[in-house]
Amino acid sequence: MRRLLTAIALLGLLVLPTFASAQDLALKRVMLSSGGLGYFEYEAAVDGESRLKLTVPLDQVDDVLKSLVVYDDKGNVGGLSLPGREPLQQLFKDLPFDQAALETPAALLNALKGAEISVGGSRAMTGRIVSVEAGNIPEVDGKASTRRTRVTLLTDHGLQQFVLEEAENLQFSDPALRDKVGQALLALQSNRARDVRTLDLSVRGEGKRNVRVAYIVAVPVWKTSYRLTLPPDAGTPRSSLQGWATIENLSGQDWKDVELTLVSGRPVAFHQALYEAYYTNRPEVPVEVAGRLVPRQDRGAVAMAAPPPPPAPAAPAMRYDEQQAPRKTVSTPRLAAGAEQLEVTDAVTQVSFKFPRPVSVENGRTLSIPFVDRDVTGQRIALYQPETAARNPLAAVRLVNDGDSSLPPGIVTIYQRGKGGGDVTYVGDAQLSGMPIGQTRLLPYALDDKITIEQDAARTEQIANGTIADGVLRYGRLQRQTITYRIRGPSRDTRDLIVTQPRLPGWTLMKPDPKGVEISEGSYRLLFKLAGGEQTQVFDVVQEQIQQQVLRLIDGPVDQIKVLASAQEFDGKTREALTKILQLQQAVADAQRRLGQVEAQQQQVTQDQARIRENLASVPANSDLQRRYLGMLDQQENEIQGLAKQRTDAQKAVDAAREALRTYVTKLGQG
């Protein structure tokens, strides 16, 4: 079977076209971004028109198609080609057999029934394949059997059979079919590395020159970790800071003597499936029957426009690290060993660290390399975050970036030197967010149980001011929140304590003095000086807010106006006006109550009339009872007339009381 497949593969290879070999590109530069992107730049020496070969993992092809750029100062790009995403699937789509048919010779012959083959050996024959059947054939001793495949051919002498495993050679008579089988086998061989794709890039130009090819793909995020060593004396402001970068090479290729640059920033990045085939849906048109005509629909027309002007020449392409301008390039002082001349570029949106020496990292390995080693200003403080620890503050470092470049975010391991610069001890970990030049960060690293904090909260409310105009009382309610901190300080040394106090939206900090107070993520940072000797100190943090209220005096709630009329925060004139309004409102209420009484009496008389008329209908005519009912009706009619006049007078009284209230309120605040 192996001999058969080898023979078929050789037949296929003989008919495949051959191409001129393409040059390999050499990886020269790698730039890793903390945003999870990697810039890979290759170089190749070319002469005239050339073809460059670049092999990338399958999962990177989309990004390569999106971002690949060619730098050729003396030429231009001819184009880029690569196999389809599913090359085997497309190949077998056009073949008379599928990929499974190449698993065994029997499967291939069975898939090509009807094809003519020639069989060599003791039973040579030529014919078309009729059937391929596998079965057990007994051995000579009859005690064992062997699995054999019997092939039936239609020959010039009728149906003939042979055992496939015993055939010395087998060949398809049709040269075109041999070519197709050979092409399929070659495609299987070249597609063994299913997770990679080889790109062929053509460049056009004259003479010898260097061509650079670059692209941006997704890579593991490089990580930053710092080592901060505090001095033995708390009064010494300078500390030692080391920054290390941890990177992984999972690119699928070794990095050998590459120029390495690390970039810290948050670029906007997109992914698009450019390596996928997309099709649009087309409307289905019915099959024409008996000469049916389907004219094209007319969607209207527009006048022809003048041809557009020729496009302007494209600007020269920029390298990934040249798109962050303006930028400032500095040298980091006292760099770690191996990075003496590290080049730092602090751009608008990112900071980059370029290593001066080539770096080598094998595929699948991790590298940790220092990129910062300098002294920084770091003051030890106590930081109170009640949401983290309610009773004790945290020991922290107030770090100032007084260097020449920004610092990427990362975790910080904090050490402290012993007295006299002796033994170094570990004191805790902290997290450092991205830190531009000149900014400050607080790095809490442990619990400070030498300081105890208790706090009480109280909130009060009172009227602050008020004015009357246009029939409206506008007044403010002063809300005050007071947080009282009772702090027992350390037993010996003094300490600076920073308290993070939530900032109430729309409120104003009244105490302590807001001057110099920092605000961070919705909280105040309040600095208090703690004396030693375990003294208990009390600090108040006061925030205030004035809420403006509006009250219509004509129809305002009586109870609310009554409370406001007695508020001592208003001046005497305002309180007097509110008291007068209460009196006028009371007059309106009395008039409305009298009107309601008259209307109730009218309703009662009307109901009595209806009852009498109902009774009158059931008594004999000209009877004493009838005459009595008629007399009652006459009396009620007179009463109704009197009540109607009373209601009119009561309604006039209500209107007059309301008008008096309206007139008085309208005149308030006009002079």
What is the structure's pLDDT at 59? 86
**Max mean pLDDT range (335-339, 441-445, 549-553):** 441-445
Examine residue 168 and state whether it is found in any structural domain, yes or no: no
* Residues 486 and 515 occupy one common structural domain: yes
* Residues 16 and 46 occupy one common structural domain: yes
Residue 532, pLDDT above cutoff 90: no
Tell me if 354 sits within 8 A of 339, measured CB to CB: no
Model confidence, pTM = 0.64
* Residues 456 and 546 occupy one common structural domain: yes
Q: In 3-state terms, what secondary structure has residue 662?
A: helix
Closest-CA residue to 170 (of 105, 224, 111, 246): 105
What is the structure's pLDDT at 287? 66
* Residues 433 and 478 occupy one common structural domain: no
What is the structure's pLDDT at 143? 64
Last residue within a domain, chosen from 447, 478, 504: 447
* Residues 564 and 538 occupy one common structural domain: no
Closest-CA residue to 363 (of 36, 44, 24, 56): 56
Confidence band (pLDDT; 50, 70, 90) for 385?
very high
* Residues 430 and 502 occupy one common structural domain: no
What is the structure's pLDDT at 340? 54
Q: Cβ–Cβ contacts within 10 Å for residue 506, how many?
A: 10
What is the structure's pLDDT at 5? 39
Percent of the chain with pLDDT over 90: 37
* Residues 37 and 185 occupy one common structural domain: yes
Q: Compute the distance between CA of residue 467 and CA of residue 490 in angstroms, rounded to an integer.
A: 52
* Range in 141-145, 229-233, 590-594 with the lowest mean pLDDT: 141-145
Instruction: Please give the average per-residue pLDDT across 107-132, as a whole number.
Output: 90
Examine residue 459 and state whether it is found in any structural domain, yes or no: yes
What is the structure's pLDDT at 567? 84
Q: What are the tens digits of pLDDT across the range 266-304?
A: 888 888 888 877 778 888 877 665 554 445 443 444 343
Residue 210, pLDDT above cutoff 80: yes
Q: Compute the distance between CA of residue 399 and CA of residue 414 in angstroms, rounded to an integer.
A: 12
Average pLDDT of the chain, as a whole number? 82
Last residue within a domain, chosen from 447, 466, 498: 447
Instruction: Please give the average per-residue pLDDT across 572-582, as a whole number.
Output: 88
* Residues 200 and 76 occupy one common structural domain: yes
Residue 321, pLDDT above cutoff 50: no
What is the structure's pLDDT at 322? 39
Q: What are the tens digits of pLDDT across the range 491-517?
A: 878 889 999 999 999 999 999 999 889
SS (H, E, C) 582-609: HHHHHHHHHHHHHHHHHHHHHHHHHHHH
Tell me if 445 sits within 8 A of 395, measured CB to CB: yes
Examine residue 491 and state whether it is found in any structural domain, yes or no: yes
* Residues 403 and 515 occupy one common structural domain: no
Examine residue 310 and state whether it is found in any structural domain, yes or no: no
Please count the residues of the chain: 671
* Residues 426 and 495 occupy one common structural domain: no
Residue 439, pLDDT above cutoff 80: yes
What is the structure's pLDDT at 594? 92
Confidence band (pLDDT; 50, 70, 90) for 18?
very low
Q: Compute the distance between CA of residue 562 and CA of residue 434 in angstroms, rounded to an integer.
A: 58
* Residues 381 and 457 occupy one common structural domain: no
What is the structure's pLDDT at 413? 95
What is the structure's pLDDT at 136? 79
Residue 126, pLDDT above cutoff 60: yes
What is the structure's pLDDT at 89? 66
Last residue within a domain, chosen from 552, 585, 615: 552
Instruction: Please give the average per-residue pLDDT across 309-329, as a whole number.
Output: 40
Examine residue 148 and state whether it is found in any structural domain, yes or no: no
Q: What are phi and psi of 237, to 5 degrees?
A: -80, -15
Q: What are the tens digits of pLDDT across the range 340-375?
A: 578 888 888 888 899 999 999 999 999 999 999 999
Confidence band (pLDDT; 50, 70, 90) for 670?
low
Instruction: Please give the average per-residue pLDDT across 396-420, as a whole number.
Output: 91
DSSP line for 89-147: HHHHHTSSS-GGGGSSHHHHHHHTTT-EEEEESTT-EEEEEEEEEEEEEE-TTSS-EEE
* Range in 204-208, 287-291, 476-480 with the lowest mean pLDDT: 287-291
Tell me if 650 sits within 8 A of 594, measured CB to CB: yes
Domain residues for the domain of 649 are 558-667
* Residues 439 and 538 occupy one common structural domain: no
Examine residue 309 and state whether it is found in any structural domain, yes or no: no
Domain count, the chain: 4
Q: What are the tens digits of pLDDT across the range 72-86?
A: 888 788 888 887 766
Between 183 and 596, residue with greater pLDDT = 596
Q: In 3-state terms, what secondary structure has residue 560?
A: helix
Examine residue 305 and state whether it is found in any structural domain, yes or no: no
Examine residue 274 and state whether it is found in any structural domain, yes or no: no
What is the structure's pLDDT at 87? 60
Tell me if 649 sits within 8 A of 569, measured CB to CB: no
Q: What are the tens digits of pLDDT across the range 218-261?
A: 999 999 999 999 998 776 778 999 999 999 999 888 999 999 99
